[in-house]
Protein backbone atom coordinates (compact mmCIF):
# COMPACT_ATOMS: atom_id res chain seq x y z
CA UNK A 1 0.00 0.00 0.00
CA UNK A 2 1.24 3.49 -0.82
CA UNK A 3 2.76 5.60 1.93
CA UNK A 4 1.46 9.09 1.19
CA UNK A 5 -1.68 10.76 -0.06
CA UNK A 6 0.23 12.40 -2.91
CA UNK A 7 1.60 9.05 -4.03
CA UNK A 8 -1.88 7.54 -3.86
CA UNK A 9 -3.31 10.30 -6.05
CA UNK A 10 -0.54 9.95 -8.59
CA UNK A 11 -0.82 6.19 -8.77
CA UNK A 12 -4.61 6.24 -9.03
CA UNK A 13 -4.34 8.69 -11.90
CA UNK A 14 -1.95 6.38 -13.74
CA UNK A 15 -3.97 3.25 -12.98
CA UNK A 16 -7.26 4.67 -14.24
CA UNK A 17 -5.69 6.02 -17.41
CA UNK A 18 -4.20 2.64 -18.37
CA UNK A 19 -3.22 -0.44 -16.33
CA UNK A 20 0.41 -0.33 -15.26
CA UNK A 21 1.08 -3.89 -16.37
CA UNK A 22 -0.08 -3.08 -19.92
CA UNK A 23 2.08 0.00 -20.36
CA UNK A 24 5.20 -0.12 -22.54
CA UNK A 25 8.52 -0.21 -20.74
CA UNK A 26 9.74 3.19 -19.61
CA UNK A 27 12.86 4.69 -21.23
CA UNK A 28 16.18 4.42 -19.38
CA UNK A 29 16.58 6.67 -16.35
CA UNK A 30 18.58 9.75 -17.33
CA UNK A 31 17.76 12.79 -15.17
CA UNK A 32 18.73 16.44 -15.39
CA UNK A 33 18.40 19.24 -12.86
CA UNK A 34 16.94 22.61 -13.84
CA UNK A 35 18.00 25.53 -11.62
CA UNK A 36 15.54 28.25 -12.54
CA UNK A 37 15.83 32.07 -12.23
CA UNK A 38 17.74 32.33 -8.92
CA UNK A 39 19.15 35.63 -10.16
CA UNK A 40 20.43 38.41 -7.94
CA UNK A 41 17.69 40.74 -9.18
CA UNK A 42 14.83 38.43 -8.20
CA UNK A 43 15.96 36.91 -4.90
CA UNK A 44 15.13 40.06 -2.84
CA UNK A 45 11.53 39.86 -4.13
CA UNK A 46 11.04 36.42 -2.60
CA UNK A 47 10.12 35.32 0.93
CA UNK A 48 13.47 35.42 2.69
CA UNK A 49 12.59 32.33 4.72
CA UNK A 50 12.27 30.48 1.41
CA UNK A 51 15.47 32.04 0.10
CA UNK A 52 17.55 30.93 3.08
CA UNK A 53 16.42 27.31 3.02
CA UNK A 54 15.96 27.13 -0.75
CA UNK A 55 19.42 28.31 -1.72
CA UNK A 56 21.04 25.89 0.70
CA UNK A 57 18.91 23.05 -0.69
CA UNK A 58 19.75 24.01 -4.29
CA UNK A 59 23.47 23.72 -3.58
CA UNK A 60 22.92 20.35 -1.93
CA UNK A 61 20.80 19.24 -4.87
CA UNK A 62 23.47 20.30 -7.35
CA UNK A 63 25.90 18.15 -5.36
CA UNK A 64 23.61 15.13 -5.71
CA UNK A 65 23.57 15.53 -9.50
CA UNK A 66 27.32 16.14 -9.69
CA UNK A 67 27.92 12.92 -7.73
CA UNK A 68 26.37 10.89 -10.53
CA UNK A 69 27.57 13.12 -13.39
CA UNK A 70 24.03 14.08 -14.38
CA UNK A 71 23.42 17.40 -16.18
CA UNK A 72 22.81 20.61 -14.22
CA UNK A 73 21.11 23.15 -16.50
CA UNK A 74 20.93 26.82 -15.54
CA UNK A 75 17.88 28.83 -16.58
CA UNK A 76 17.88 32.65 -16.60
CA UNK A 77 14.95 34.99 -17.17
CA UNK A 78 15.34 38.00 -19.45
CA UNK A 79 12.24 40.17 -19.73
CA UNK A 80 12.29 41.64 -23.22
CA UNK A 81 12.48 45.42 -23.20
CA UNK A 82 13.82 45.52 -19.63
CA UNK A 83 17.35 46.72 -18.78
CA UNK A 84 18.25 43.53 -16.87
CA UNK A 85 20.20 41.44 -19.38
CA UNK A 86 23.17 39.07 -19.66
CA UNK A 87 26.36 40.74 -18.50
CA UNK A 88 24.65 42.68 -15.72
CA UNK A 89 25.69 41.37 -12.24
CA UNK A 90 22.03 41.50 -11.20
CA UNK A 91 21.25 39.06 -14.03
CA UNK A 92 23.61 36.41 -12.65
CA UNK A 93 23.19 33.77 -9.96
CA UNK A 94 24.81 34.51 -6.58
CA UNK A 95 28.48 33.56 -6.35
CA UNK A 96 27.57 31.13 -3.54
CA UNK A 97 25.77 28.80 -5.98
CA UNK A 98 27.98 25.87 -6.99
CA UNK A 99 27.65 26.24 -10.75
CA UNK A 100 30.34 25.54 -13.34
CA UNK A 101 31.29 27.30 -16.56
CA UNK A 102 30.55 24.02 -18.32
CA UNK A 103 26.92 23.88 -17.10
CA UNK A 104 24.53 24.51 -20.03
CA UNK A 105 22.68 27.82 -19.84
CA UNK A 106 19.23 28.63 -21.18
CA UNK A 107 17.93 32.21 -21.41
CA UNK A 108 14.16 32.52 -21.57
CA UNK A 109 11.79 35.42 -22.21
CA UNK A 110 8.59 33.68 -21.10
CA UNK A 111 7.55 31.93 -17.86
CA UNK A 112 8.20 28.39 -19.14
CA UNK A 113 11.82 27.49 -19.86
CA UNK A 114 10.51 25.53 -22.87
CA UNK A 115 8.78 28.44 -24.63
CA UNK A 116 10.84 29.69 -27.60
CA UNK A 117 14.11 28.29 -26.21
CA UNK A 118 16.38 25.38 -27.15
CA UNK A 119 15.79 23.57 -23.84
CA UNK A 120 13.87 20.64 -25.31
CA UNK A 121 16.51 20.09 -28.01
CA UNK A 122 19.27 20.31 -25.41
CA UNK A 123 17.59 17.70 -23.20
CA UNK A 124 16.95 15.34 -26.10
CA UNK A 125 20.57 15.63 -27.23
CA UNK A 126 21.67 14.54 -23.76
CA UNK A 127 19.15 11.67 -23.68
CA UNK A 128 17.36 13.16 -20.66
CA UNK A 129 14.11 11.42 -19.65
CA UNK A 130 13.50 12.87 -16.15
CA UNK A 131 13.58 16.47 -14.93
CA UNK A 132 14.03 17.71 -11.37
CA UNK A 133 13.01 21.34 -10.85
CA UNK A 134 14.34 23.92 -8.41
CA UNK A 135 14.44 27.70 -8.11
CA UNK A 136 11.95 30.55 -8.32
CA UNK A 137 9.20 31.35 -8.39
CA UNK A 138 7.45 28.12 -7.50
CA UNK A 139 4.17 29.85 -8.33
CA UNK A 140 5.43 31.34 -11.60
CA UNK A 141 8.28 30.29 -13.85
CA UNK A 142 9.05 27.02 -12.06
CA UNK A 143 5.40 25.97 -12.22
CA UNK A 144 5.13 26.98 -15.89
CA UNK A 145 8.25 24.94 -16.67
CA UNK A 146 6.82 21.99 -14.71
CA UNK A 147 3.74 21.88 -16.92
CA UNK A 148 5.87 22.47 -20.02
CA UNK A 149 7.95 19.42 -19.09
CA UNK A 150 4.86 17.28 -18.49
CA UNK A 151 3.45 18.36 -21.86
CA UNK A 152 6.63 17.04 -23.46
CA UNK A 153 6.38 13.68 -21.63
CA UNK A 154 9.32 14.15 -19.27
CA UNK A 155 9.04 12.49 -15.87
CA UNK A 156 8.97 15.67 -13.80
CA UNK A 157 9.66 16.18 -10.10
CA UNK A 158 9.47 19.34 -7.99
CA UNK A 159 12.14 19.21 -5.26
CA UNK A 160 10.36 20.52 -2.17
CA UNK A 161 13.10 22.25 -0.21
CA UNK A 162 14.65 23.77 -3.36
CA UNK A 163 11.56 25.84 -4.29
CA UNK A 164 11.29 29.56 -3.57
CA UNK A 165 8.22 31.85 -3.75
CA UNK A 166 7.17 35.40 -2.81
CA UNK A 167 5.39 33.86 0.19
CA UNK A 168 6.39 30.65 1.97
CA UNK A 169 2.79 29.46 2.17
CA UNK A 170 2.62 29.59 -1.64
CA UNK A 171 5.60 27.27 -1.79
CA UNK A 172 3.85 24.79 0.47
CA UNK A 173 0.78 24.89 -1.76
CA UNK A 174 2.83 24.16 -4.89
CA UNK A 175 4.65 21.30 -3.16
CA UNK A 176 1.29 19.76 -2.32
CA UNK A 177 -0.46 20.16 -5.67
CA UNK A 178 2.53 18.84 -7.65
CA UNK A 179 3.29 15.98 -5.19
CA UNK A 180 6.84 17.27 -4.79
CA UNK A 181 9.61 15.07 -3.42
CA UNK A 182 11.71 15.88 -0.36
CA UNK A 183 15.40 16.35 -1.11
CA UNK A 184 16.28 13.28 0.95
CA UNK A 185 14.14 11.08 -1.32
CA UNK A 186 15.68 12.63 -4.44
CA UNK A 187 19.17 11.87 -3.14
CA UNK A 188 18.19 8.32 -2.16
CA UNK A 189 16.53 7.68 -5.53
CA UNK A 190 19.63 8.87 -7.40
CA UNK A 191 21.85 6.49 -5.42
CA UNK A 192 19.46 3.58 -5.89
CA UNK A 193 18.74 4.17 -9.58
CA UNK A 194 22.45 4.55 -10.31
CA UNK A 195 23.25 1.17 -8.73
CA UNK A 196 23.11 -2.07 -10.75
CA UNK A 197 20.19 -4.30 -9.80
CA UNK A 198 22.61 -7.11 -8.95
CA UNK A 199 24.30 -5.03 -6.25
CA UNK A 200 20.95 -4.06 -4.72
CA UNK A 201 19.77 -7.67 -4.70
CA UNK A 202 22.82 -8.90 -2.80
CA UNK A 203 23.09 -5.92 -0.43
CA UNK A 204 23.20 -6.74 3.27
CA UNK A 205 20.69 -5.30 5.72
CA UNK A 206 23.50 -3.44 7.43
CA UNK A 207 24.56 -1.77 4.18
CA UNK A 208 20.98 -0.68 3.49
CA UNK A 209 21.00 0.98 6.90
CA UNK A 210 24.47 2.56 6.79
CA UNK A 211 25.04 3.37 3.11
CA UNK A 212 21.50 4.42 2.19
CA UNK A 213 20.34 5.50 5.65
CA UNK A 214 17.22 3.32 5.68
CA UNK A 215 15.88 3.57 9.23
CA UNK A 216 12.12 3.57 8.52
CA UNK A 217 10.02 1.74 5.91
CA UNK A 218 8.52 4.77 4.13
CA UNK A 219 11.52 5.64 1.90
CA UNK A 220 12.02 2.22 0.29
CA UNK A 221 8.26 1.72 0.05
CA UNK A 222 7.89 4.94 -1.91
CA UNK A 223 10.90 4.10 -4.07
CA UNK A 224 9.31 0.74 -4.82
CA UNK A 225 6.25 2.50 -6.20
CA UNK A 226 8.45 4.87 -8.19
CA UNK A 227 10.02 1.79 -9.81
CA UNK A 228 6.56 0.40 -10.59
CA UNK A 229 5.61 3.66 -12.30
CA UNK A 230 8.82 3.47 -14.33
CA UNK A 231 7.97 -0.11 -15.32
CA UNK A 232 11.12 -1.37 -13.62
CA UNK A 233 9.39 -4.28 -11.92
CA UNK A 234 12.49 -6.34 -11.00
CA UNK A 235 13.95 -3.25 -9.31
CA UNK A 236 10.68 -2.62 -7.46
CA UNK A 237 10.64 -6.20 -6.18
CA UNK A 238 14.26 -6.02 -5.02
CA UNK A 239 13.58 -2.78 -3.10
CA UNK A 240 10.36 -4.02 -1.52
CA UNK A 241 11.88 -7.41 -0.60
CA UNK A 242 14.66 -5.54 1.19
CA UNK A 243 12.08 -3.36 2.94
CA UNK A 244 10.10 -6.37 4.15
CA UNK A 245 13.31 -7.95 5.40
CA UNK A 246 14.40 -4.78 7.19
CA UNK A 247 10.99 -4.21 8.78
CA UNK A 248 9.47 -7.67 9.27
CA UNK A 249 6.74 -6.42 11.65
CA UNK A 250 5.35 -3.85 9.19
CA UNK A 251 2.28 -5.27 7.42
CA UNK A 252 2.39 -2.57 4.76
CA UNK A 253 5.84 -3.72 3.59
CA UNK A 254 4.42 -7.14 2.70
CA UNK A 255 1.29 -5.68 1.10
CA UNK A 256 3.44 -3.46 -1.15
CA UNK A 257 5.68 -6.41 -2.06
CA UNK A 258 2.57 -8.44 -2.85
CA UNK A 259 1.38 -5.70 -5.19
CA UNK A 260 4.73 -5.63 -7.00
CA UNK A 261 4.64 -9.39 -7.50
CA UNK A 262 1.05 -9.23 -8.73
CA UNK A 263 1.83 -6.50 -11.26
CA UNK A 264 4.75 -8.63 -12.42
CA UNK A 265 2.44 -11.61 -13.00
CA UNK A 266 3.85 -13.62 -10.05
CA UNK A 267 0.54 -14.31 -8.36
CA UNK A 268 1.72 -17.15 -6.12
CA UNK A 269 4.31 -14.92 -4.48
CA UNK A 270 1.82 -12.05 -4.42
CA UNK A 271 -0.69 -14.17 -2.51
CA UNK A 272 1.94 -15.28 0.02
CA UNK A 273 2.84 -11.66 0.79
CA UNK A 274 -0.75 -10.43 0.85
CA UNK A 275 -1.50 -13.12 3.41
CA UNK A 276 1.49 -12.09 5.53
CA UNK A 277 0.30 -8.49 5.43
CA UNK A 278 -3.22 -9.49 6.43
CA UNK A 279 -2.09 -11.71 9.33
CA UNK A 280 0.42 -9.17 10.67
CA UNK A 281 -2.19 -6.41 10.48
CA UNK A 282 -4.73 -8.62 12.23
CA UNK A 283 -2.30 -9.38 15.08
CA UNK A 284 -1.58 -5.68 15.57
CA UNK A 285 -5.13 -4.42 14.93
CA UNK A 286 -3.66 -2.29 12.14
CA UNK A 287 -5.82 0.62 10.95
CA UNK A 288 -5.36 -0.59 7.36
CA UNK A 289 -6.44 -4.15 8.10
CA UNK A 290 -9.47 -3.94 5.79
CA UNK A 291 -7.28 -2.90 2.84
CA UNK A 292 -4.86 -5.77 3.40
CA UNK A 293 -7.73 -8.21 3.78
CA UNK A 294 -9.29 -7.08 0.50
CA UNK A 295 -6.05 -7.70 -1.38
CA UNK A 296 -5.55 -11.10 0.22
CA UNK A 297 -9.12 -12.29 -0.32
CA UNK A 298 -9.26 -10.94 -3.87
CA UNK A 299 -6.21 -12.87 -5.02
CA UNK A 300 -7.21 -15.93 -2.98
CA UNK A 301 -10.57 -16.03 -4.77
CA UNK A 302 -8.94 -15.49 -8.15
CA UNK A 303 -6.76 -18.55 -7.57
CA UNK A 304 -9.77 -20.88 -7.15
Residue ranges covered by each domain of the chain? 5-183, 195-303
Q: What was the pLDDT predicted at 230?
A: 72
Cα 137 to Cα 36, 41, 178: the distances in Å are 8, 13, 14
Mean pLDDT of 4-26: 40
Query: Rounded distance, CA 197 to CA 213, Å?
Result: 18
Query: Rounded distance, CA 131 to CA 143, Å?
Result: 13
For the entire predicted model, the pTM comes to: 0.79
The torsion angles phi and psi of 237, rounded to 5 degrees, stand at: -65, -40
- 191 alpha carbon, distance to own chain's centre: 13
Query: Rounded distance, CA 165 to CA 175, Å?
Result: 11
Q: What was the pLDDT predicted at 184?
A: 86
Q: Using the 8-state DSSP alphabet, how is residue 217 labeled?
A: T
Query: Rounded distance, CA 74 to CA 107, Å?
Result: 9
**What's the fold here for domain 5-183?**
Rossmann fold (3.40.50)
Lowest mean pLDDT among 132-146, 173-187, 203-217: 203-217
Q: What is the CATH number assigned to the segment(s) 195-303? A: 1.25.40.10
Amino acid sequence: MKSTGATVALLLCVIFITPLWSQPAAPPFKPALLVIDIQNAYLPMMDQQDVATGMEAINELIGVFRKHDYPVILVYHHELGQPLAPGDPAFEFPASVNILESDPRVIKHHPSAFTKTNLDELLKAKGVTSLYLSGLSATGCVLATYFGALDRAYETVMVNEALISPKAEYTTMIRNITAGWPLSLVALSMDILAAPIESLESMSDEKWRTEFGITAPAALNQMGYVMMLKQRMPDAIVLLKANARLFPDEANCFDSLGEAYERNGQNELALINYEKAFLKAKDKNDANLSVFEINFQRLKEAKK
